[in-house]
Amino acid sequence: MTAHTQVRLTVNGEEVFESVEARKTLVEFLREDLGLTGSHVGCEHGVCGACTLLLDGAIVRGCLLLAVQCDGCRIDTIEGVADSGTIADLQQAFAARNALQCGFCTPGMLLTAAQLLEEVGVPSREKIRARLSGNYCRCTGYHAIVDAVEAVARARANIPPQQGEGRIAEGDPGRGR
Amino acid sequence: MKPAAFAYAKARSLDHAIELLGGAPAEARVLAGGQSLIATLNMRLSSPDLLVDINAVPGLDGIAVKDGMLEVGALVRHAQAERSDLVAKHAPLIAMALPHIGHLAIRNRGTIGGSIAFADPAAELPACLLALGGEVSIAGPDGCRSVAAEQFFRGLFETALSPRDVLTAIRVPLAERDGRFGFAEFSRRHGDYAMVGLAAQARAEDGGLRAVRLVYFGVGATPVRARNAEADLARSDLAAAIGALARDLDPPDDLQATGAVKIHLAGVLLERVAQQLTGRERRPA
Amino acid sequence: MQESNKASGLSPLDRPNSYIGRSVPRPNLARLLAGRGQFVSDVVLPRMVHVCFVRSPHAHALIRAIDTAAAGRAPGVVAVVTGAELANVCTPWVGVLTHLKGLKSAPQHAVAVAKACWQGEAVAAVVAKTRALAEDAAELVGVEYEPLAPVADAETALDPGTPVIHAELGDNLAFERGLDAGEVDQAFRDADAVVEATFVFGRHTGVTLEPRAIVADWNPGEARLTIYQGTQAPHMMQNIFAKHLGLDEHQVRVLCKDVGGSFGIKVHVYADEMATAALSKLLKRPVKFVADRIESFVSDIHARDHRVKACIAVKNDGRITAFEIDDLTGIGPYSVYPRTSGIEANQIVNLVGGPYACPNYRARTRVVFQNKNVMCQYRAVGHPIAAAVTEGLVELAARKIGMDVLELRKRNLVADDAYPCASASGLKFEKLSHHASLDKLIALMDYESLRREQESLRRRRIFRGLGFAAFIEVTNPSAAFYGVGGARISSQDGALVRLDATGAIICHSGVTEQGQGTEAVLAQVVATAMGVSIERVRIVTGDTDNTPYGGGTWASRAAGIGGEAAWQAGKALRANVLAVAASILQAEAGKLDIRNGLVVDADTGRERIELHEVARIAYFRPDTLPPGFQAELMAVRHYVPRAYPFAFTNGVQASWLEVDPATGFVKLIRHFVVEDCGTIINPQLVDEQIRGGVVQGIGAALFEHCVYDAQGQLLNGNMADYLVPMAAEMPDIDVAHVETPTADSELGAKGAGEAGTAGAPGAVLNAVNDALAPLGAAPITEMPITPGVVLAALGKV
């Protein structure tokens, strides 16, 4: 057995103090040691984006960080961000446009999109696609995801929604206007 | 894929890092951004005994003008450099290249120093460093030294760094008023490693160019200067320059393109970059 | 749509508050959006251990010896097991079906015994407390290989000098089929123009974002095996685990939770998953296997490795008079179990030329074994190849005789009033809408305007292309697909619907969910049948202990078959509930209806009694019901299509793109689909299935390729080198529909999950060739269309 190292970090606002093997990646630590299975593992080489989470407020790949490196850091996963309510409009837009099917890419996709939406201005569809281009989705073909992100960007900027763009599920406030 | 076991030590200072690197009985590796290293560890392409984490070493994450050069600390994250006014002003070539590096999540952790030290043949920054005639600052057991970019990149993933060295900064000459820069790359998808790319610098003179430096990446084990093409371009003979690439470059076939395709694309890149250098760019690279 | 609800005078689509045709949001979205899904890769059980497989680095090698001693002593290791040892626990299988005459394959073991037949085949299993420890120990397993010459080229697999992978089979031919309809030779002799082309399709794979994962839990105390698996067909797997592990079917429970993508990848039987279950039985504790991405590339089924020599004969007036194909496909060393690796080739033979009224058709296919990863059904099985070949030939022919590509199609697509009819290959069509769909597509994309734009941009040396692909698509399969061949794969499906004590409806269904929206569709059907709000409906799927015996989700059957079973069960429960209500109210059941969760007088709408009150009385106060009356607040119905072997759908797609002749890069501008899947239960979900399918097809057309070298080594088995479609390169996709319901069910719903993938590659291929046509480029007939392929066609490299 290799030596274990103590790490102290904040995860979703909660202080965590654990002993962890050096080789354990951050995403594995969160999933296995803390039971936060919302961050997913899709490739373990940083390409697919399923493990995307927040380190000190910036999106990073959880599979390309070691847990031991995160001593003193603040980690936010999809569970914490969802519970905080700060992306409720984005989640609602995803639901309204069925911008997720199997849901495996969704945590990473939401956190990446949320980071884009914090930037000033309404991004073009091209920019949304470019910014999401590090998050692999096999199910949706991306169109509905782009629609959802664009809709939220416009709503946050108080710009009226586009008409006639794609189908919106019933019960969504954006429908039928 | 889980990494093979290794020990981990967090360096408190540069000296401490060098001491840790030298202290291991077998292989130790520097951990900075980890965006390349941890992927190779996950795939067990590499199994060092010790990782020396330098992320807490002070003084390596600054961007400053020093002695007429722009110094970018090894631990400067790509995303940090992307936001830097100093980089935009004094090293516009690097500013042009940075958005092409992977995706934002990678750039938030990946470091300038790590990219130079890893020296992936398809990476952007090594080519930029060579095009700018920059240099690499290295701290080792015998003290500090500076290595010019021309001498730094030696072979496939092989640089002037020895196993006990720490790359501490890169330094590039400040962009001059007559400096002209061009950057373009072709990749199959946004954020992918380049199939072939070109980082270029020149000086404007009397409607033409002098001191042309054309550095291709994705065409061999290291970035490659296309010297014949440079001379032709300095004579304003673009057609000849494109033709010269077949002599300057000998790219091997790889999974994304054959050598012949790379040479062809290198010519298209030269056309586009030449327009950037002469200020007559018609479409973005 | 046949029967109206006679009591209310309404048809199923006219039910009050009908959910049929409404884009209702899926009930499972909230947990997925909050990161609270439960995927198999999340499952943790007490005392669970992890397995990692030692995989052959050789494509073809004898296994001389395996030394497990050092690995067995490594930290945290519970067991190291070879194929020979595991063969005592799990019997081998053979992937053949009797209706694919002549299909042969060798027995395949859970872990290879004596011989490794592809690079990546598991040759030993290491079980340890963590996956990392298992991988550490796997490095200590010493395997002595004697490499053999690999069979790595389908073109030479049958040559006399090529090694035979399984000597007992005699040769490397897995399956061969020929078909000769009409007068093909005469048609080619009489043709005004003949186009010949060789189409080459790059082998590729599904790349589900959640890799294959299984947790197997053999509990000797209960003598039960519980399997958590992301399978599309839990009852099929229940049968197979039982059969090969020496158990009775009822000793096996298969549970499907959230599945991170499947697309057919997770409907097959995998040796490493069988091994995991066998190890659990051997070790008497839960064992978990999650394929990592690198092993996924060498162990998930591959698909679509075909070389098709094809010809089309046309007359100057545009009549297509013959199609002919000669298909060669190189699979792996085994035909995959139980659906076989002969189906894809068989489909191609069946489907080429399908949309067209052309009676002369000849086809041959040969399926050959290779020492490469195994191949089997992946979304749209065979259709993308058949459509690309057919539609590629059609557009080449049009160009040859100087006819507009859409005009040629209009002159040959089966007329919308020509049904029922059959194709030259014997496919039976109930009623399709090729012409209506094409007309709708032309309007949807504003075709004339795009052609004008194309022309005007060409004058400025900007080269855009428009390409089309008409297609037919197999959905709602009957037993004709697998059952007739002897496979224990159910083509029927069942739904159990019950009213609980609070008036909510629970539906248990044999079809499964992998993100396409099965649960939503079933809820919509049941809520409509029962007359309740959809919020009061809960769906249970993916549990062999708690759902009727069914086939699961594949071949686009969930809505059409699972939905119909749920519809029938819902109607039956409604009748049962009204019988109880009638007995409570002393009224005639035939004059009552359920609307919005209330029992009402059918003709006036007067509210009579709430559902939860009916339930309360039936469950807790049956003493108040008339003597001799027994309440039955549960109903089970099954459904299988009988009139047609498959419910064919049809559609047509268009790709609008731009090619940069300087670089060979293709930029997709927009994609259009008009598709007819009959009654649409949830329009949004159907459109999203089509969009996702289109992008998978685009992946095949431009990006995806499992590249092998001559030694049978996969060269690009990682996410950096194997290119999947990402957001920046994909276009917006417009979808519209024609609706031609099937009469084989009351709902009239056909399937829609694969249509996008069926037509997209052909449309993109045709669009690239259209873009390059003015430049005198050689027609491109291979995929993926990389920049190098385009530059070569232009003569630039």
* Inter-chain touch C729–B189, beta carbons under 8 Å: yes
Chain mean pLDDT for chain C: 96
For residue B2, being part of any structural domain is answered with no
Q: Which residue has the tokens 């990692």?
A: C52
Window 22-81 of A: residues touching B by CB (8 A cutoff) are 22-23, 25, 44-46, 49, 52, 55, 58-61, 63-66, 68-69, 71
Shared domain for A14 and A63, answered yes or no, is: yes
| Chain B positions in Cβ-Cβ contact with residue A136 (cut-off 8 Å) | none
CATH number at residue B106: 3.30.465.10
The packing angle between helices C683-698 and C755-772, to 10°, is 50
For residue B108, being part of any structural domain is answered with yes
Shared domain for A72 and A96, answered yes or no, is: no
Q: Which percentage of chain B shows pLDDT scores above 90? A: 95
Contacts of residue C683, Cβ cutoff 8 Å, sequence gap at least 6: A167, C21, C22, C23, C737
Shared domain for B73 and B135, answered yes or no, is: yes
For residue A111, give its domain range.
85-156
User: Which tokens go with C503?
Assistant: 């008036």
Rounded Cα distance, B223 and B197, in Å: 10
Sign of the Cα pseudo-torsion (A82, C206, C294, A136, in order): negative
Residue of C nearest to A33 (CA): C44
Q: Give the pLDDT band (50/70/90) at residue A166.
A: low
Contact status of C460 with chain B (Cβ, < 8 Å): no
C-alpha neighbours within 13 Å on the C-beta side of residue A78? 33
* Inter-chain touch B106–A66, beta carbons under 8 Å: no
Q: How many domains does chain B have?
A: 3
For residue B1, being part of any structural domain is answered with no
For residue A138, being part of any structural domain is answered with yes
**pLDDT at residue A2 above 60?**
no
Contact status of B191 with chain A (Cβ, < 8 Å): yes
Q: Which of B10, B12, B29, B42 would best serve as a mutation to test chain A binding (most A beta carbons within 10 A)?
A: B42
pLDDT of amino acid A164: 61
* Inter-chain touch B195–C720, beta carbons under 8 Å: no
Residue whose C-alpha is closest to residue C765's, from C408, C467, C471: C467
**pLDDT at residue C5 above 50?**
no
Shared domain for B79 and B47, answered yes or no, is: no
Contact status of B1 with chain C (Cβ, < 8 Å): yes
Q: Tell the CATH topology of C40-148+211-259+265-299.
A: Aldehyde Oxidoreductase; domain 3 (3.90.1170)
Q: Give the pLDDT band (50/70/90) at residue A171.
A: confident
Residue of A nearest to B100 (CA): A130
Residue of A nearest to B79 (CA): A58
* Inter-chain touch B105–A61, beta carbons under 8 Å: yes
Three-state SS string over C133-198 comes to HHHHHHCCCEEEEEECCCCCCHHHCCCCCCCCCCHHHCCCEEEEEEEEECCHHHHHHHCCEEEEEE
* Inter-chain touch A5–B8, beta carbons under 8 Å: yes
- Residue C128's SS3 state is strand
Q: Give the pLDDT band (50/70/90) at residue C12.
A: low
Encode burial over C698-723: b for 16+ CB neighbours within 10 A, e otherwise.
Answer: bbbbbbbbbebeeebbbebbbbebbb
Span A87-92, average pLDDT? 98
Could you tell me the end-to-end alpha-carbon distance of chain B, in angstroms, rounded to an integer?
37
Q: Give the pLDDT band (50/70/90) at residue A176.
A: very low
pLDDT of amino acid B207: 85
- Residue C485's SS3 state is helix
Query: What is the least distance, in Å, from the CA of A55 to any CA of chain B?
Result: 9
Query: What is the least distance, in Å, from the CA of C646 to any CA of chain A?
Result: 25
User: Which tokens go with A84?
Assistant: 């905080």
DSSP string for residues in C441-483: HHHHHTHHHHHHHHHHHHHTT-EEEEEEEEEEE--S--TTTTG
Give me the numbers of helices (H) and strands (E) for chain A, helices first please.
Answer: 6, 5
Contact status of C400 with chain B (Cβ, < 8 Å): no
CATH 3.40.50.300 is right for the domain spanning C302-478+643-793:
no
Contact status of B152 with chain C (Cβ, < 8 Å): no
Q: What value does the CA radius of gyration of chain A take, rounded to a whole number of Å?
A: 17
Shared domain for A57 and A37, answered yes or no, is: yes
Query: What is the least distance, in Å, from the CA of B186 to any CA of chain C?
Result: 9
Window 4-63 of B: residues touching C by CB (8 A cutoff) are 4-5, 43-44
Shared domain for A106 and A124, answered yes or no, is: yes
Span C280-300, average pLDDT? 98
Contacts of residue B65, Cβ cutoff 8 Å, sequence gap at least 6: B71, B86, B90, B174
Span C70-79, average pLDDT? 98
Contact status of B83 with chain A (Cβ, < 8 Å): no
Q: pLDDT per residue over B11-49, tens digit each?
A: 999 999 999 999 866 799 999 999 999 999 999 999 999
- Residue C336's SS3 state is coil
Q: Which of A39, A55, A66 would best serve as a mutation to test chain B binding (most B beta carbons within 10 A)?
A: A66
pLDDT of amino acid B26: 72
Q: Would you put residue B143 in left (φ > 0), alpha (ψ -120 to 50) or beta?
A: left
Residue of B nearest to A28 (CA): B2
Could you tell me the end-to-end alpha-carbon distance of chain C, in angstroms, rounded to an integer?
57
* Inter-chain touch B104–A112, beta carbons under 8 Å: yes
Q: pLDDT per residue over C316-365, tens digit each?
A: 999 999 999 999 999 999 999 999 999 999 999 999 999 999 999 999 99
pLDDT of amino acid A11: 98
C-alpha neighbours within 13 Å on the C-beta side of residue C606? 5
User: Which tokens go with C528?
Assistant: 């409509």
* Inter-chain touch A110–C33, beta carbons under 8 Å: yes
Shared domain for B81 and B161, answered yes or no, is: yes
Contacts of residue C73, Cβ cutoff 8 Å, sequence gap at least 6: none
For residue B128, being part of any structural domain is answered with yes
Give the CATH class of C2-37+492-639.
alpha beta
CATH number at residue B250: 3.30.390.50
Q: pLDDT per residue over C516-555, tens digit each?
A: 999 999 999 999 999 999 999 999 999 999 999 999 999 9
Residue whose C-alpha is closest to residue A99's, from A69, A142, A36, A158: A142
Do C763 and C385 form a contact (C-beta atoms < 8 A)? no
* CB atoms inside a 10 Å sphere around CB B178: 12
Beta strands in C298-427 (DSSP E): 302-303, 306-314, 320-330, 361-368, 421-422
Q: Determine the distance from the C-alpha atom of residue B169 to the mean position of all C-alpha atoms in its chain, rounded to a whole number.
A: 12
Residue whose C-alpha is closest to residue B15's, from B61, B51, B58, B48: B58
* ipTM of the prediction: 0.96
Which residue ranges does chain C devote to CATH 3.90.1170.50? 40-148+211-259+265-299
Beta strands in chain B (DSSP E): 7-10, 28-31, 50-53, 63-66, 69-73, 135-140, 143-148, 153-155, 158-159, 166-173, 179-186, 196-205, 208-217, 224-225
Rounded Cα distance, B135 and B252, in Å: 28
Q: pLDDT per residue over C394-444, tens digit each?
A: 999 999 999 999 999 999 999 999 999 999 999 999 999 999 999 999 999
pTM of the model: 0.97
Which residue ranges does chain C devote to CATH 3.30.365.10? 2-37+492-639, 302-478+643-793
Residue of B nearest to C295 (CA): B1
Rounded Cα distance, C400 and C394, in Å: 10
Where does a domain end: B129, B145, B172?
B172
For residue B58, being part of any structural domain is answered with no
List the subunits that have 3+ CB pairs under 8 angstroms with B: A, C
* Inter-chain touch B190–C716, beta carbons under 8 Å: no
pLDDT of amino acid B281: 57
| Chain A positions in Cβ-Cβ contact with residue B190 (cut-off 8 Å) | 130, 133
* Inter-chain touch C32–A103, beta carbons under 8 Å: yes
| Chain B positions in Cβ-Cβ contact with residue C662 (cut-off 8 Å) | 268, 271
Shared domain for A74 and A132, answered yes or no, is: no
Residue of B nearest to C708 (CA): B255
Window 98-127 of A: residues touching B by CB (8 A cutoff) are 112, 115
Query: What is the least distance, in Å, from the CA of C538 to any CA of chain A?
Result: 18
| Chain A positions in Cβ-Cβ contact with residue B55 (cut-off 8 Å) | 69
Shared domain for A23 and A74, answered yes or no, is: yes
Nearest to C684 among A38, A79, A98 (CB): A98
User: Which tokens go with C236?
Assistant: 């099929």
For residue B21, give its domain range.
7-53
Do C125 and C51 form a contact (C-beta atoms < 8 A)? yes
CATH number at residue A59: 3.10.20.30
Rounded Cα distance, C375 and C334, in Å: 9
* Inter-chain touch B1–C293, beta carbons under 8 Å: yes
CATH number at residue A118: 1.10.150.120
Q: Could you give the dihedral angle defined by the CA atoms of residues C562, C567, C573 and C578, in that order, rounded to the nearest 10 degrees?
A: 180
- Residue C32's SS3 state is helix
Shared domain for A33 and A99, answered yes or no, is: no
- DSSP code of C106? -
How far lies C650's CA from each of C406, C410, C647, C759, in Å? 16, 15, 10, 10
Q: Which percentage of chain C shows pLDDT scores above 90? A: 97
For residue A170, being part of any structural domain is answered with no
Shared domain for A8 and A74, answered yes or no, is: yes
For residue A117, being part of any structural domain is answered with yes
Query: What is the least distance, in Å, from the CA of B111 to any CA of chain A?
Result: 13
Contact status of B254 with chain C (Cβ, < 8 Å): no
How far lies C414's CA from each of A40, C187, C430, in Å? 48, 19, 12
Where does a domain end: A35, A63, A82?
A82
- Cβ pairs B/C, distance under 8 A: 63
**pLDDT at residue A26 above 60?**
yes
pLDDT of amino acid C8: 39
Contact status of A139 with chain C (Cβ, < 8 Å): yes
The packing angle between helices B259-277 and B238-248, to 10°, is 140
Span B55-62, average pLDDT? 97
pLDDT of amino acid C16: 74
Q: pLDDT per residue over C18-41, tens digit each?
A: 999 999 999 999 999 999 999 999
Q: Which of C131, C668, C791 would best serve as a mutation to test chain B binding (most B beta carbons within 10 A)?
A: C791
Contact status of C76 with chain B (Cβ, < 8 Å): no
Shared domain for B247 and B192, answered yes or no, is: yes
Span C583-600, average pLDDT? 95
* CB atoms inside a 10 Å sphere around CB A88: 11
* CB atoms inside a 10 Å sphere around CB C203: 23
Residue of A nearest to C698 (CA): A141
Beta strands in C660-739 (DSSP E): 666-676, 732-737
User: Which tokens go with C260?
Assistant: 């991170």
Q: Give the pLDDT band (50/70/90) at residue C6.
A: very low
Window 100-129 of B: residues touching A by CB (8 A cutoff) are 102-106, 108-109
Q: Is B177 exposed, middle or buried (0-12, 13-18, 19+ CB in 10 A)?
A: exposed
Rounded Cα distance, C599 and C604, in Å: 12
Shared domain for A110 and A58, answered yes or no, is: no
Shared domain for B216 and B144, answered yes or no, is: no
Query: What is the least distance, in Å, from the CA of C213 to any CA of chain A?
Result: 12
Residue whose C-alpha is closest to residue C755's, from C306, C379, C305: C379
| Chain B positions in Cβ-Cβ contact with residue C786 (cut-off 8 Å) | 188, 256-257
Rounded Cα distance, C227 and C238, in Å: 9
Shared domain for A102 and A148, answered yes or no, is: yes
Question: What is the amino acid identity at position B258?
Answer: T
Nearest to C796 among B195, B264, B271 (CB): B264
Phi, psi of C368, deg, nearest 5: -120, 150
Span C451-459, average pLDDT? 98
pLDDT of amino acid A167: 76
Q: Give the pLDDT band (50/70/90) at residue C13.
A: low
Residue whose C-alpha is closest to residue C652's, from C433, C473, C405, C470: C470
Shared domain for A64 and A108, answered yes or no, is: no
Chain mean pLDDT for chain A: 93
Q: How many domains does chain A have?
A: 2
Q: Which residue has the tokens 């010519």?
A: B267
Do C83 and C113 form a contact (C-beta atoms < 8 A)? yes
Rounded Cα distance, C528 and C522, in Å: 10
For residue A169, being part of any structural domain is answered with no
Q: Could you give the dihedral angle defined by the CA atoms of residues C238, C243, C245 and C249, in that order, rounded to the nearest 10 degrees?
A: 50
Query: What is the least distance, in Å, from the CA of C771 to any CA of chain B?
Result: 19
C-alpha neighbours within 13 Å on the C-beta side of residue C352? 34
Residue of A nearest to C207 (CA): A138
Query: What is the least distance, in Å, from the CA of B3 to any CA of chain C?
Result: 7
List the subunits that have 3+ CB pairs under 8 angstroms with A: B, C
Span C4-13, average pLDDT? 45
Q: Give the pLDDT band (50/70/90) at residue C17.
A: confident
Q: pLDDT per residue over C618-634, tens digit each?
A: 999 999 999 999 999 99
Rounded Cα distance, C604 and C591, in Å: 10
Shared domain for A77 and A108, answered yes or no, is: no
Please name every residue paired with A97 in a beta bridge, in sequence order, or none if there are none.
none
